Amino acid sequence: MTTKIHATCDALGNPTGFHLTPGQAHDLDGAEALLPRIDADTIIADKAFDADARVLEPLRKAGKTIVIPPKSNRKVPRAYDEDLYKARHLIENFTEDQWSALFETEPYRLLCDK
């Protein structure tokens, strides 16, 4: 039995929130728990969070800037800021180094905001 640790972090990679789910749970389960608590104006996340009803629409209603690349199977591609998305990679690498001492096993998902 495994557990996923879903985490939010600020632009410097400092953790700002956590949510635990069973290992077999979809990443969106963690997103639904964490997104309403994010104060940042811009949300950067990976393709796993490209979900209209569960992620994108609530973020739009909250007035957030969304930087999530569209999934390749999306019928109508959606634009996103590719340059700003590069910041997600730097944040994830930074936090991965910090978390490795605490959590020796994968998976955990990062949902980073800027």
Cα–Cα distances in Å, from 59 out to 5, 52, 85? 21, 10, 16
- Is 70 exceeded by the pLDDT of residue 24? yes
Could you tell me which residue, 11 or 112, shows the higher pLDDT?
A: 11
- Is 70 exceeded by the pLDDT of residue 98? no
Q: Whole-prediction pTM value?
A: 0.78
Containing structural domain, residue 54: 3-113
Number of domains in the chain: 1
E-strand ranges in 23-114 read: 42-44, 65-67, 108-113
- Is 60 exceeded by the pLDDT of residue 109? no
Residue identified by tokens 């949902």 is 111
Structure confidence by residue, pLDDT tens digits, 48-70? 899 999 999 999 999 999 999 99
Could you tell me which residue, 46 or 111, shows the higher pLDDT?
A: 46
